[in-house]
Amino acid sequence: MAANEHMTAHTSTIYIPLLDEGTEVWRPVNARDLGGGVYEISSDAAPEEHEQWAFAPGERVRTALRALSGGEPVLVASERVVPAI
């Protein structure tokens, strides 16, 4: 058994920008914390029929803290992270 099999994945809510909305719109999704500010968007997450997400379910993204309309800083997906080969 590998050493990391006993570790539980930490899941958090991150916010993904929606495209083609005319104004900034963010969708909260569950994502697994991979460390170093990188998260993997839950593959169970799915855009609503009318939404176009900047990042797809299952993708790894780098996050940054950003204050949205509520004023409290939240983690937002800022760029795609390509896994090392």
Longest dimension (CA), the chain: 50
Provide the whole-model pTM: 0.83
| Closest listed residue to residue 17, CA positions, set 9, 27, 32, 3 | 27
Give the rounded distance of the alpha carbon of 44 from its chain centre.
12
Residue 52 in 3-state DSSP? coil
pLDDT in tens, 23-76: 999 999 999 999 999 999 999 988 888 899 999 999 999 999 999 887 889 999
User: What count of residues does the chain have?
Assistant: 85
